[in-house]
Amino acid sequence: MEVKKAAMAGTLESSDAQVTVEPGNGKIELSIESSVIHQFGKQIKATILETLNRLDVTDAKVTVVDKGALDCTLKARVECAVYRSNDITENLPWGGVIK
């Protein structure tokens, strides 16, 4: 899926993550800021990249500010930001590429 315009999802509240996606320069550029980066940095990165991969996003600048979000929240925020960048809010592929 193409990231057509800048879009954001999530908040800076505890247990949440704020994810911003912007049109990229031919690849995924991922920036992660997290209070638990030393313990969970690898896992956070893997979850974000897997989610982008499932959505077939290959060209985007992705910024994540993590506040201790569970994996399920990270996925939810990435998916929401990507679909918002395409103005899609209905007939979503629950259980398909969103899983």
Which parts of this chain interact with another protein (CB under 8 A)?
9-10, 13-16, 69-73, 75-77, 79-80, 83-84, 89-92, 94-95, 98-99
CB closer to another protein out of 64 and 75? 75
Q: How far is the CB of 49 from another protein (least distance, A)?
A: 17
DSSP 12: S
Q: How far is the CB of 86 from another protein (least distance, A)?
A: 12
Question: Which C-beta is closer to another protein: that of 32 or that of 98?
Answer: 98
Q: Which lies closer to another protein via its Cβ, residue 9 or residue 60?
A: 9
Two tokens at 87? 């103005």
Chain position carrying tokens 């499932």: 54
Min dist. Cβ of residue 71 to another protein (A): 7
Please say which residue, 60 or 83, places its beta carbon nearer to another protein: 83
- CA nearest neighbour of 54 among 23, 85, 98, 86: 98
Q: Which two tokens mark 62? A: 């992705």
Distance CA 65, CA 16 (A): 9
3-state secondary structure of 25: coil
